Structure formats: structure tokens, C-alpha cells
Structure 1
Amino acid sequence: MARDRKPFRRRAHVIAASVTALTVGGIALTEVPAFAASKPKGHDVSSHQKNVDWRSAASKGAKFVYVKATESHTYRNPYFGQQYNGSRTAGLIRGAYHFALPNKSSGKTQAAHFVRNGGAWRADGWTLPPALDIEYNPYDKRHKCYNMSNSRMVVWIKSFSNEVKRLTGRRPVIYTTAHWWNACTGSSRAFASDHALWVARYNSSTAGTLPAGWGAWTFWQYDNSGSLPGDQNLFNGSLSQLKKFARGS
């Protein structure tokens, strides 16, 4: 459905590079950048994937997943329960993300809607911190930054983050691209010190130049298709570090 479109993740300006097949017992699991083959592999899903076969995803090497919970201040993923709870039952570390529409309502309003509808967090080692998906406007290509100035966008993100922190105790992970971030926040460095980065960059051997302020990525969405349902991701560390990150320690 339209609310689950992720259009800029298919942008043509990404840089092509070689990839290698990660295999177990000679069976290719997915195409991943060669240097990152040993990092924990995961994915993200939305209502587009409907009811996911979580046992199959786990058998193909998935260690974590982010599930779309909400968008703007009204929408909730109708498959959220099956996806969020089913992934945990299959042994995946899972978290929820919110698709931002900053032109529809305040950051505080959207954060409250998100946390009420799946974006909560607890320090159990199996729940990833809430995530904010902020990217090009999928509904109006003329206003890719939602017709907002850089300063207003920064204020919106801060409002969202502050409310998520107040309600859950964690700052949200920020999902974006360097191109969007630098264009729509004016290369703001206000978030890098206390927000983990989930960067999107496809068809590349590296995550490339990061959004302003960040020196490293925590999650990298490196493709929009592969052996796992939805988009393909890596965690920048070991499995034990992933569990520690989930706990907030």
C-alpha cells in the first residue's frame, strides 16, 4: 500500500560495486558486501510483506529485524502483531520503526502515536530501540523535504526524539541517507552524539560517506531485496554487541 512505499531507497544515484554471496553449507543466503559478511544480518519489514515466515527468515541467517509500526499520527501497520511478535518467537532481536511525515503533525504528536502503537522499548536484550525513518517525501516529489526549512526540520526531529526518550528511556535510532540528511537538515550535527545511525546505501561495497556528524553507522541497509523478506541490513558489530545495544548497556 502507498503508506509503505520507500521510494528513495531505489534511487539510481547509488554507486555500483561488487558483492559476494554469503553461504552456509554451500547455500547462498544473500548478497552482501564482501567485507561485511561476518556481521549479524537482519532485515526490515512493513505491511508490504504481510504475514512473514519467521522460521524461514531465521533459518536463512536473520538475527534481527525492524518492523514498521506507524506512519504520521494516524496509521498503524495492520500486520504489526504478526511481524513483531512472530519474529521474537523465532528467536530474532526485533524493534519497531516509525515513518515520519513531518508536514502532517508535530514530532511530539507522531512520537506519542508511535510509542502507543508498538514503539515501546524494554531492556530485555531482545528489543531494539525505537527507530525514526525520515526520508524523501513519498507523496509529493516537489517537496522532498516536506516544504520545511532546514531549521524547522531539525526542530521536528528533536521534538520526536525528546518525546520518544521521555516515554521509553531511549533515544531513537535515525534511519536516513546522507543525501537526504544533508539536504533537508542542512548537514545538522545535532544528533550524532546520542543517536545511533541506520544508513541506507545500495549496490556498494561500503556504506559510503555518512550523514553529517556521524563517524560510524550502527545499522546499514544495503539492499531493498535479498534472501530475507523486505530490505536487507547489517549490524556494525558482533551478535553479543547487538544484544548489548538492545539492552541499552
Structure 2
Amino acid sequence: MLTPIAHAHPSTATDTLSAAQPSDPYAHADEHHAGSQIAKHEGRLRGSPPKRHRPLGNDVSRWQGEVNWYLVKKKRAKFSYIKATEGTGYRNKHFAQQYNGAARVGLIRGAYHFARPDVSGGGTQAKYFVRHGGNWRNDGRTLPGALDMEYNPYGKDKCYGLSKRQMRSWINAFVRTYADLTGRLPVIYTSTSWWKLCTGNSGAFRKSPLWIARYNSYIGALPKGWSRHTIWQFSDSGSLPGDQNYFYGSMDKLRKLARG
């Protein structure tokens, strides 16, 4: 059980709807993936990608369709994250092929949820995510679920119509609910720029592993509270399908993250 964040009650604004919510709240959801809005707002990698002697991985979504995981394995991938859900009304129709296929070839894999604070509360979305692929299993090959926090793909409000305090409360509700349901803290995916803009650079979630998005040859400053990242998404294209990632640490540490 997680300790509530003192500065904001978890029920505050958890079901706040954005005034700019579209008539179809999941229009183009197939196109939304980890980093799709970060690349749009912050730019893409220019020049050569960074080279690290660390486990290489990728993340995929409906956008990639059915993935040839044997080829992914051949290209030395060690782990993968797969989009499972968005909000409380979207499920990746290729999730089973992608998630189970990654496991079959021996990759350590996990699921992620594209957050939509404009359509429902954080706790509600955590429950939906766990029911539809985001649950954690103590099998040594399942990574904790990841919460994808990035720019609003609908409308001009980058923070989904929420104040910084409301956004912190929304994230807190998701994190607490996910931890209560699975026994694991979720990974938090974000960029430093979005985190500063929409949470006020909160340091309250430092116990969750950080999956940082930075499309460059270096990471730069991390969000407040994290002294280091766990995963670095350094490019939205490369040798692997989908986005390219490095795990910060050895394969033993990657396995330990899966085991919890």
C-alpha cells in the first residue's frame, strides 16, 4: 500500500473532464503511442543514435501491427513494452500477438497504458489497464505496467485541462490503485519538459521506476525526485519496430525489475 501524497487528496479532480474533449474521445487512438506526442512537441533525434553497452529494447502499439518477434530477437533486443490500453475505452487489437509473441522468443516484456486524464479518473484507468493486459505476474519475464504521461493529443491544452495539482492527484490515484491491485509500483513514462509543465516538476513519484523520453544523443536533466532513469527512450525509429530504448543496467538488473 502506498502512502497518500500529502499535497493533494487522490479524489480531487480524478473524474474531471476537459472542456475540449472531442465528440469521439478515442478518435485516432490507434496512432497514439509512447512518445507520439513528445516527438510532435519536442522534436526527434537528429544525427547518429547513442551507442550504449546496455540491454536494448523497443516499444510497440497498434501502429506496428503484427510484429515479427523472431527478427526482433535476432537484432539483439532484450525487452519490450506493448501498448495495451488508452483511457477506459480503447484496447490495442494486436496486443495479444505482440505481448505473447515477445514472451515466446524470450524477451522480458511489459504492458503500458496511454493516460487520458480528460476522460476519467486515474484509479478508474488503472483498473481498466489491469483488466486488459496491464497486470503483473511474478514469472520472471513480466515487467511492471507503465503509465504513459505525455502531451494531450486532442486540443491545444497540453495538460488535458487539469491544473498541476489536479494532475498530481490524477497520477497519484493511478499509481496507488495499480500498486494495490498488483503489488508493484508502475513505471512512469514521461519527458522532463512535460513533467515540469503539467505536474510542476513534482518529486512525489520518485519510488516508481522512470522511463524517460529524450530523442537525442544524451538524456539531459531528469524530472525532480529521480536521481537516475531506469529506461531511456532515445528515438522513435531505428533497427527495431517502434521506438528504441536502453535499459539502465545489466541483464541481471533487468531480470530483477521483472521479478520485483
Per-residue CA deviation, residues 57-116 of structure 1 (Å, 9 max, x unaligned), is 000011000000000011111000000000000110000000000010000110000000
- Structure 2: how far apart are the matches of 1:81 and 1:224? 22
Per-residue CA deviation, residues 154-202 of structure 1 (Å, 9 max, x unaligned), is 000000011100111001000000000000001111001x100000000
Q: Give the CA deviation at 1:135.
A: 0.3
SS of alignment partner, residue 102 of structure 2: helix
136 and 13 in structure 1: CA distance in 2 versus 1, 3 angstrom threshold: closer
Contiguous gaps of at least 5 residues in structure 1: 20-31
Q: 1:68 aligns with which of 83, 91, 103?
A: 83
2:253 partner letter = Q
- Structure 1: how far apart are the matches of 2:113 and 2:178? 11
Task: Choose between structure 1 and 2: higher strand proportion.
Answer: 1
Q: 1:217 aligns with which of 219, 229, 246?
A: 229
RMSD: 1.5
Moved over 6 A (4+): none
Q: Give the CA deviation at 1:15.
A: 8.4
111 and 206 in structure 1: CA distance in 2 versus 1, 3 angstrom threshold: same
- Structure 2: how far apart are the matches of 1:157 and 1:12? 21
Q: Give the CA deviation at 1:17.
A: 6.6
Q: TM-score, normalised by structure 1?
A: 0.89
- Structure 1: how far apart are the matches of 2:42 and 2:203? 24
* Correspondence for 1:86: 101
- Structure 1: how far apart are the matches of 2:198 and 2:40? 17
User: Does 2:159 match 1:133?
Assistant: no
* Correspondence for 1:55: 70
Q: Give the CA deviation at 1:9.
A: 3.0
Q: TM-score, normalised by structure 2?
A: 0.85
Pairing of 1:148-163 with structure 2 (within 5 A): 148-163=162-177
Q: Give the CA deviation at 1:205.
A: 2.2
Query: Share of identical aligned residues, percent?
Result: 52
Q: 1:238 aligns with which of 226, 250, 256?
A: 250
1:58 partner letter = K
15 and 119 in structure 1: CA distance in 2 versus 1, 3 angstrom threshold: closer
Residues 182 and 188, structure 1, Cα contact 8 Å, conserved in 2: yes
User: Does 2:209 match 1:196?
Assistant: yes
- Structure 1: how far apart are the matches of 2:227 and 2:218? 14
Contiguous gaps of at least 5 residues in structure 2: 1-26
Q: Give the CA deviation at 1:11.
A: 3.8
User: Does 2:31 match 1:2?
Assistant: no
- Structure 1: how far apart are the matches of 2:58 and 2:132? 21
- Structure 2: how far apart are the matches of 1:16 and 1:123? 35
